[in-house]
Amino acid sequence: MKSLFLKARQIYGDLSLQSKYTLALMLIVTIPVLMLGIFFYGKLYDMTVSYTIRQEQDASAKTAPIIEETLQEVLDACQETANHPFFRKLFFEPVNSPLSAMAELPEAEDFLNLTKTIQSRGTVSSIRIYMNFSNESNLFYTNDSSGQVFAHAKDIYGTYWYGIFQGNLRTSELFCPSFYLGAQEQERFGDMAYIRKLSLYYHGKTYPVYAVIYYRSAPITEILSQNLSLPGSVSYIINERNSLVASSDESLSGIYWLSYETIEESVMSSNNFIERTILDNKIYAGFYRISQPGWFMVTVLPSKPLLDESHSLIGQYILMYFLFLILALCLANILARSITGRISSVIRQMSKVRKGSLQPMDSPVYHDEVGDLIDTYNYMTRTIDQLIVEQRQAAEDLRIAEFNSLQAQINPHFLYNTMDMINWLALQGQNSQVSQAVQALSKFYKLTLSRKQSISTIAREEEHVSIYIRLQNMRYNDSISFVSDIPDELMEYQIPKLTLQPVIENSILHGILERETKSGTIVLTGWMEDQDIVLLISDDGVGIPPERLRTILTGMGSSTSGGTNIAIYNTHRRLQILYGPDYGLAYSSECGKGTEVQIRIPARKE
């Protein structure tokens, strides 16, 4: 724990001043918000339930009166029909005249027009009066079926509502849900109805009459659906016979069905939503009485959508919190930058020193501690820049001096070997060969010293080593075969002078001449590889032992004849000084079979 604390302390200590200041402001802002979130998290579900129930209560309190208004329009239509003089003359006074004579009265046509007017208002879809006696009632039928009002009672035989009236003679009125009506009624007139039972006193006899005001359930269903705001909830209306009157979702109302008796008991005990468990699902149910028919409107809220709503609120809270956090972070960063911005600009400028960019800053406007820091930095920049220039110049002078020194070591080494060969020819009395050797040597140095620059071409270097091998063959009786197979397109590329000659010299002296036959072949070839040129010099000499091969390019290797490999090392070192560590010589050899040397230089033309 202590080590963890120390590590955290170290991390905090390494933060920039702006980060520390921003972090401090963020902690001040976020800690109270987090504490409030943790405190209210456990109560959020209860708050969500209470809030949603209150919303549904308000919506239901507005919905129930709307349904009552719809039903009241139906009752008003029935009452308006019953108040018509023709209707009252038929059903509230004894009728002794023939019905055919009644149909001819002026009030009859006015009554039919009234029914059409009521139906045109929208709420009532149709009005029918069913009478159960002789066919004389056909006199009240109209030729237009859409305006027909009077019908024979046989049209309603077998309907559920007709059975209710027949089963209970004291029933005088009835609000009918859809399944109370017959199929033809629902299709032609409407799927809900208000029915009033009347009597016709005709010639001293009483006949039952049913005045039916038909209307549609769709508006009530739509009102119930608009009452809901929570997914998975349902609103339905139940009558005193435990029948479903209307529902926003019939399948859900079947699942969450509550009996009329249960609802009455709940209404007596509570005016709020009650909690129930149905099919292992917790629900919240609320009840509102629709007074005129004696119905109840039931609203059921399952707990799962409430829980989802709670999670949604939590998600919204978290999202708002993060948005607030981002805003707070931006404000904290702006405040921190206003304090540490000038220091940060000095730090950024000083960090460029690592990349080699030494640029002084603008002179400070304010000469406080930060201003003094900027002045000191500008002085330091100018001093370091001057030192870098001096160091670069010294390094360049050193590079040139080292290059010249390396090349100076090669030239005397070659001259010594050549003069030794000419001396040997002179001692043998081979004057013509001495002359040829001197001419070849003269041409050799003419190629070497003809230009002041230290860079030649591959073509001239190839000619240079050809002359060198010819000089060596004069000494060793043409025992060295030389094959040059460099592509013509490479001949004009640059190569430092005296690059090939030390390698071929090493191949002759320490490779071919150490064979028993004192003879062999040297092959020179080359190719382009990416942006580099690779020259390959291979011989079939005795090869180089592994232990010596590892040190041949270090300047510490020695040949089996006691000579040093200073020329090879100098050549390799010279190429690296000129072109970088990726260039130079690379040796590979197998004892008894020969040696290969790769020379890699960048592809450059004059």
> In a 3-state reduction of DSSP, which class is residue 529?
strand
Percent of the chain with pLDDT over 90: 26
Q: Is the pLDDT of residue 593 over 50?
A: yes
Q: How far is CA 315 from CA 30, 319, 416, in A?
A: 17, 6, 90
Residue 558 gets which letter from DSSP?
B
Judged by average pLDDT, the poorest of 44-48, 233-237, 429-433 is 44-48
Compute the distance between CA of residue 349 and CA of residue 15 in angstroms, rounded to an integer.
18
Compute the distance between CA of residue 235 and CA of residue 258 in angstroms, rounded to an integer.
12
Residue keyed to tokens 């976020």: 30
Q: How far is CA 105 from CA 98, 118, 345, 587, in A?
A: 12, 21, 106, 133
Q: Is the pLDDT of residue 387 over 70?
A: yes
Distant-in-sequence, close-in-space partners of 103: CB < 8 Å, separation ≥ 6: 139, 140
pLDDT at 561: 43
569 or 606: which leads in pLDDT: 569
Q: Is the pLDDT of residue 135 over 60?
A: no
Q: Is the pLDDT of residue 284 over 80?
A: yes
Instruction: Give the torsion sign (CA, 182, 188, 191, 192).
Output: negative
Q: How far is CA 487 from CA 459, 464, 510, 515, in A?
A: 10, 17, 28, 30
Angle at 575 between CA 391 and CA 473, to 5 degrees: 145
Most confident of 324-333, 472-481, 584-593: 584-593
Residue 555 gets which letter from DSSP?
T
Q: Is the pLDDT of residue 456 over 80?
A: yes
Cβ–Cβ < 8 Å for 452, 503: no
Distant-in-sequence, close-in-space partners of 538: CB < 8 Å, separation ≥ 6: 522, 523, 594, 595, 596, 597
Please state the pTM of the whole predicted model: 0.50
Most confident of 82-91, 373-382, 433-442: 82-91
Compute the distance between CA of residue 80 and CA of residue 574 in angstroms, rounded to an integer.
121
Cβ–Cβ < 8 Å for 194, 175: yes
Judged by average pLDDT, the poorest of 86-100, 243-257, 485-499, 546-560 is 546-560
Judged by average pLDDT, the poorest of 161-175, 378-392, 532-546 is 378-392
pLDDT at 599: 96
Q: Is the pLDDT of residue 367 over 60?
A: yes
Task: Locate all alpha helices (DSSP H) within 508-565, ordered by sequence.
Answer: 546-549
List beta partners, residue 605: 493
Angle at 329 between CA 328 and CA 331, to 5 degrees: 65
Tokens of 188: 């032609």
Residue 247 gets which letter from DSSP?
E
pLDDT at 44: 65
Q: How far apart are the first and last CA of the chain?
A: 69
pLDDT band at 409 (very low <50, low <70, confident <90, very high): low
314 or 156: which leads in pLDDT: 156
Rg from Cα positions in the chain: 57
60: number of Cβ within 10 Å: 20
Amino acid of residue 329: L
pLDDT at 559: 46
Compute the distance between CA of residue 22 and CA of residue 328 in angstroms, rounded to an integer.
10
Tokens of 581: 């560590």
List beta partners, residue 152: 131
> In a 3-state reduction of DSSP, which class is residue 277?
strand
339 or 419: which leads in pLDDT: 419
Q: How far is CA 535 from CA 89, 252, 499, 522, 587, in A?
A: 130, 89, 10, 13, 12
Compute the distance between CA of residue 306 and CA of residue 471 in angstroms, rounded to an integer.
104
Domains of the chain by range and CATH? 84-214 (no CATH), 219-307 (3.30.450.20), 394-602 (3.30.565.10)
pLDDT band at 560 (very low <50, low <70, confident <90, very high): very low
Burial class (CB in 10 A: 0-12, 13-18, 19+), 10: exposed
Q: How far is CA 463 from CA 441, 458, 500, in A?
A: 13, 9, 10
Rounded to the nearest integer, the mean pLDDT of the chain is 81
Tokens of 483: 């094959």
